[in-house]
Amino acid sequence: MKKINIGILGFGTIGSAVYELINVNHDMIEKRLGLDLHVSAICDVSPNIEHPLLVRDARDVINNPAIEVVVEAIGGEKPALSFILAAIKKGKHVVTSNKEVMALNGDKIFSAARKNNVSINFEAAVGGGIPIIGPLSHDLLANNLTEIYGIVNGTTNYILSKMTKEGTEFEAALEEARKMGYAEANPKKDIEGYDSSYKAAILASVAFNSQIDWKNVYFEGIEKITQEDISYAKEIGYIIKLLAVAKKYEKECEVRVHPTLISQEHPLASVSGPMNAIYVKGDMVGELMFYGQGAGGLPTASAVVADIINCYNVQCPISNFQFRKLKVKPIDEIESRYYIRLTVPDKHGVLAGISKAFADQKVSISNVVQKETIGKIATIVIIIHQAKEANLRKAIARLEKLSVVKDVCNVIRVGL
Amino acid sequence: MKKINIGILGFGTIGSAVYELINVNHDMIEKRLGLDLHVSAICDVSPNIEHPLLVRDARDVINNPAIEVVVEAIGGEKPALSFILAAIKKGKHVVTSNKEVMALNGDKIFSAARKNNVSINFEAAVGGGIPIIGPLSHDLLANNLTEIYGIVNGTTNYILSKMTKEGTEFEAALEEARKMGYAEANPKKDIEGYDSSYKAAILASVAFNSQIDWKNVYFEGIEKITQEDISYAKEIGYIIKLLAVAKKYEKECEVRVHPTLISQEHPLASVSGPMNAIYVKGDMVGELMFYGQGAGGLPTASAVVADIINCYNVQCPISNFQFRKLKVKPIDEIESRYYIRLTVPDKHGVLAGISKAFADQKVSISNVVQKETIGKIATIVIIIHQAKEANLRKAIARLEKLSVVKDVCNVIRVGL
């Protein structure tokens, strides 16, 4: 069992979620990996934060020799950069969710980490909890990755989705995003494309194995998109999304962020509301998409804590199964909704008999629709509320014997 | 530079694609990771395969002391299992794309690998090239993963998609799948759900960190789904998919495969044709989806070669950037299609002037639509063929000065 002392810099949405995650899933992680994650200190200067572990000076975290991993969850370039570099210099691994500091200072931070032989992990900087830095830098290593298209900002995607689905104008959609907590009081960095441009620079750097200078990333925001543009685009089969685009050629690349008309048929078109997705093309793997919640405390903490774990070369759980035999429920015991297609003679009294067969097994009908009638045979489709499979099967067995039922043609489970 | 000698067992679709991938991307992988991947021997018993590295007896691969990694790409339980166990016993890492052998014998194989201190990697066994075993076992380690819904069989998804989109009956759709190469001559294992059930057992084992016995996985295939079911489901807002379902409770779980009515709004509903996707819920990360090509030689080889690399604790490329400064193209040099919205006076000669402004910059118009006219002002939407941004901007600057143009309201790039 290895105990890992962690210091958290910044106790806002992400910092406090990291603390919460470690508390909630501590035992599971310990049991699975043999790592005892332990938050030793939290630093935040905001006067309205109170916590038994709270310190007010980041040096009390950075200079604490017991702390092995520093989580930087402050955001923004300053003072995060100097704290990250100081922690690295002290030989600590650093995990950050900060896209801005990584996009603007990746080269400085990487070379400091190499020099001091520590890890700098930043999965949470792009796509919140969506695994994307990991897949790009491990699982897809055998590929020449050539194209990335990302919806990487939840605020702008929420606004564009609302404009698209409800015909709202930009200002009203922004106001709604604020109310829903998807936009900050000052949403400039999201709306004008800064946030996406940081993420574009990071994605391109990792995918293309090159240091992409953020200053060379062209970006536009969504503030000029009107309802007219959205409607006209829709008429010709397109939807407007704020896309981070990165393409690699032999000796150069493109990295840019701007509103883009994309085909309604493209998998990215169905990524709506505050969701994020990153679409990737590789020469071998073809096209991939990674989809999920791109922001929020706990999803982002999921990535931060995985990054903490990844600072240690713990044995992969696959070859380390606990071999606890989790019991698999027999199919009879599962609960599901069901779709049932029957044929019945087209006469009175049919539904009463069918309903009783279900009711006797405590299986409750949600919906019955009579479909086409051919000759004297009618097709009926029944939707069943959540029921236990064993009871459903008994009801079906009963139905099959009823004189008012010609055939039970199909029974299909309903889910999702 | 470390040279890694690889032996490939089975030189069909996947084995030959692994060989091809290693040839094509050898130098890139070497440069990036310092690993010199080298195929030393290929074993296949099929009489119509010829290759300079070919041997006919698997023992010539397994007993070759120079070979460090054995790729098992034979498929099926026998003789793959005995070859895998023999290779492990000889102290070789094993990478396999074989879902059947992993689902039926995971416990034996894992315990042999642990005993002999070698890796057994099987990313390619589920979802082809889609990173899913990696994310579940690394990137999502901080989560209690509770639900998985996978479209993990391309043959059945192709058939169901065809039935849904084109109104085809099952037999005709299967015939088409055969013609397109998406179904084997004997498609029993795909159609009847065996293939998906193997993958369900593997996904549940990895996600729930437990050994799920395949014999307890309930499964049904798609052979009973008719066009009627598909149409009736559609009428009530559902689409039918063959889903691998795994759910975890406190002390037990569900692992099952069956056709399922899922809401047309769910992200899995838009996974069509031969594509695969795995939808995952974790207590912290919320909902994720991993989408891509679930089969095919090169996509699967992408996963196999990543697994070969993962047998070695090579430094992650993120902290190992080559820092080659890939030039980022200035925005002026990119090429794109464009959407342009203009307002113009509603009179003759307008289009001639606009067309000339574009033609003078060699920018070619794909489509012009006149939208609403308010008073004497008409809105025009123009779609531009692929053009260089610099030329487009010159054309726009020209337009803005034309007396026949009132306003250039918006210019948005068109992509995907």
For residue B224, give the chain A residue with the closest CA.
A410
| Tokens coding B337 | 């299609």
DSSP structure class, residue A329: P
SS3 label, residue B74 = coil
Q: Where are the alpha helices (DSSP H) in A192-237?
A: 194-208, 227-235
DSSP secondary structure letters along B92-135 = -EEEE--HHHHHHHHHHHHHHHHHHT--EE-GGGSSTTS--HHI
d(CA B183, CA B198): 18
- Compute CA B14 distance to the chain's CA centroid, rounded to the nearest angstrom: 15
Cα angle B61, B63, B69 (rounded to 5 degrees) comes to 55
For B287, phi then psi, to 5°, come to -105, 135
Q: Are β-strands B145-151 and B69-72 bridged in parallel, bridged antiparallel, or unpaired? A: unpaired
SS3 label, residue B6 = strand
| Confidence at residue B313, expressed as pLDDT on a 0 to 100 scale | 80
Q: Are A96 and A123 in contact (CB under 8 A)?
A: no
d(CA B255, CA B98): 19
DSSP structure class, residue A337: E
Q: Which helix (H) or strand (E) holds B239?
A: strand B238-248
Q: For chain B, give every domain's residue range.
A: 2-125, 133-293, 331-414
Question: Over 70: is that where the pLDDT of A33 sits?
Answer: yes
Partners of B259 on chain A (C-beta within 8 Å) are: 412-413
Q: Are β-strands B252-263 and B218-219 bridged in parallel, bridged antiparallel, or unpaired? A: parallel
pTM over 0.90: yes
d(CA B136, CA B134): 6
| Tokens coding B299 | 């996509």
Q: Are the Cβ atoms of A301 and B313 closer than 8 angstroms? A: no
Place of tokens 């063929």: B385
Place of tokens 């989705």: A161
Q: Are A130 and B290 in contact (CB under 8 A)?
A: no
Contacts (Cβ under 8 Å, ≥6 apart) of A82? none
Q: Are the Cβ atoms of A324 and B131 closer than 8 angstroms? A: no
Q: Are β-strands A218-219 and B145-151 bridged in parallel, bridged antiparallel, or unpaired? A: unpaired
Annotated binding residue at B9? Answer: yes
d(CA A274, CA A296): 10
DSSP structure class, residue A226: -
Q: Percentage of chain A surpassing pLDDT 70?
A: 98
Q: Write the residue in A129, A216, A233 that is nearest to B285 by C-beta.
A: A129
d(CA B369, CA B381): 5
Encode pLDDT of B47-83 as tens digits: 999 999 999 999 999 999 999 999 999 999 999 999 9
What is chain B's pLDDT, residue by residue, as a tens digit (416 residues)? 899 999 999 999 999 999 999 999 999 999 888 999 999 999 999 999 999 999 999 999 999 999 999 999 999 999 999 999 999 999 999 999 999 999 999 999 999 999 999 999 999 999 999 999 999 999 999 999 999 999 999 999 999 999 999 999 999 999 999 999 999 889 999 999 999 999 999 999 999 999 899 999 999 999 999 999 999 999 999 999 999 999 999 999 999 999 999 999 999 999 999 999 999 999 999 999 999 999 999 999 999 999 999 999 876 555 555 556 789 999 999 999 999 999 999 888 888 999 999 999 999 999 999 887 888 899 999 999 999 999 999 999 999 999 999 999 999 999 98
Encode pLDDT of A85-96 as tens digits: 999 999 999 999
Place of tokens 């910092």: A15
**CATH for the stretch B2-125:** 3.40.50.720
Cα separations in angstroms, B413 against A157, A169, A257, B338: 17, 20, 10, 4
Instruction: Measure in Å the smallest separation between the Cα of B60 and chain A Cα atoms.
Output: 27
Q: Which CATH number fits domain B133-293: 3.40.50.300, 3.40.50.1100, 3.30.1360.200, 3.30.360.10?
A: 3.30.360.10
Tell which residue, B116, B2, B122, B8, has the closest CA to residue B64: B8
Annotated binding residue at B161? Answer: no
Contacts (Cβ under 8 Å, ≥6 apart) of A329? B252, B253, B254
Q: Are the Cβ atoms of A303 and B139 closer than 8 angstroms? A: yes
| Tokens coding A49 | 């934060």
| Tokens coding B352 | 């001639």
Encode pLDDT of A217-235 as tens digits: 999 999 999 999 999 999 9
Torsion of CA A176, A181, A186, A189, to 10 degrees: -100
d(CA B81, CA A140): 27
Name the binding residues of A for NADPH: 99
d(CA A104, CA B161): 45
Instruction: Measure in Å the smallest separation between the Cα of A152 and chain B Cα atoms.
Output: 14
At residue A27 the predicted structure's pLDDT band, cuts being 50, 70 and 90, is very high
**CATH for the stretch B331-414:** 3.30.70.260
Partners of B260 on chain A (C-beta within 8 Å) are: 412-416
Compute the radius of gyration of chain A from its Cα atoms: 27
| Confidence at residue B374, expressed as pLDDT on a 0 to 100 scale | 85
Catalytic machinery residues of A: 199
B133-293 and B331-414: identical CATH topology = no
Instruction: Measure in Å the smallest separation between the Cα of B268 and chain A Cα atoms.
Output: 9
Partners of B380 on chain A (C-beta within 8 Å) are: none
DSSP structure class, residue B374: E
For B70, phi then psi, to 5°, come to -110, 125
Cα separations in angstroms, B227 against A374, B163, B233: 16, 7, 10
| Confidence at residue B317, expressed as pLDDT on a 0 to 100 scale | 55
Amino acid identity for residue A170 in this structure? F
For residue B336, give the chain A residue with the closest CA.
A260
Annotated binding residue at B237? Answer: no
Tell which residue, B65, B68, B41, has the closest CA to residue B55: B41
Burial letters A62-81, b for 16+ CB under 10 A, else e: bebeebbbbbbbbbeeeebb
Burial letters B95-127, b for 16+ CB under 10 A, else e: bbbbbbbbbbbbeebbebbeebebbbbbbbbbb
Q: Are A252 and B328 in contact (CB under 8 A)?
A: yes
For residue A308, give the chain B residue with the closest CA.
B142
Strand ranges in A211-347 using DSSP code E only, listed in sequence order: 218-219, 238-248, 252-263, 275-282, 286-293, 327-328, 335-345
Encode pLDDT of B145-199 as tens digits: 999 999 999 999 999 999 999 999 999 999 999 999 999 889 999 999 999 999 9
| Confidence at residue B316, expressed as pLDDT on a 0 to 100 scale | 55
Q: Are A252 and B327 in contact (CB under 8 A)?
A: yes
| Tokens coding B260 | 């399922």
Q: Where are the alpha helices (DSSP H) in B270-414?
A: 297-310, 350-360, 389-401
Q: Write the residue in A110, A129, A256 that is nearest to B319 by C-beta.
A: A110
Q: Are the Cβ atoms of A134 and B139 closer than 8 angstroms? A: yes
Contacts (Cβ under 8 Å, ≥6 apart) of B259? A412, A413, B160, B220, B222, B224, B225, B240, B241, B242, B243
Angle of helix B350-360 versus helix B389-401 axis, rounded to 10: 150
Mean pLDDT of A134-147: 96
Contacts (Cβ under 8 Å, ≥6 apart) of A352? none
Cα separations in angstroms, B206 against A102, B144, B218: 32, 12, 18
The Cβ of residue A142 has, within 10 Å, a number of other Cβ atoms equal to: 28
Q: Write the residue in B25, B263, B282 that is nearest to A416 by C-beta.
A: B263
Q: Percentage of chain B surpassing pLDDT 70?
A: 98
Contacts (Cβ under 8 Å, ≥6 apart) of B80? B9, B72, B74, B96, B98, B100, B101
| Confidence at residue B278, expressed as pLDDT on a 0 to 100 scale | 98
Instruction: Measure in Å the smallest separation between the Cα of B55 and chain A Cα atoms.
Output: 26
Q: Are B253 and B212 in contact (CB under 8 A)?
A: yes
For B51, phi then psi, to 5°, come to -165, 140
Amino acid identity for residue B89 in this structure? K
Instruction: Measure in Å the smallest separation between the Cα of B287 and chain A Cα atoms.
Output: 6
At residue A294 the predicted structure's pLDDT band, cuts being 50, 70 and 90, is very high
Torsion of CA A338, B240, A132, A185, to 10 degrees: -70
| Confidence at residue A113, expressed as pLDDT on a 0 to 100 scale | 94
Mutation target for A interface from B326, B334, B337, B369: give the one with most A CBs within 10 A: B326
Question: Over 80: is that where the pLDDT of A319 sits?
Answer: no
| Confidence at residue A323, expressed as pLDDT on a 0 to 100 scale | 57
Q: Are B212 and B102 in contact (CB under 8 A)?
A: no
For residue A382, give the chain B residue with the closest CA.
B232
| Tokens coding A182 | 């998807």
| Tokens coding B59 | 């023992």
Catalytic residue among B199, B241, B281, B394: B199
Cα angle A389, A392, A396 (rounded to 5 degrees) comes to 135
Partners of A84 on chain B (C-beta within 8 Å) are: none
| Tokens coding A93 | 């691994």
| Confidence at residue A375, expressed as pLDDT on a 0 to 100 scale | 86
Residues in chain B: 416
User: Does B362 qualify as catalytic in the annotation?
Assistant: no
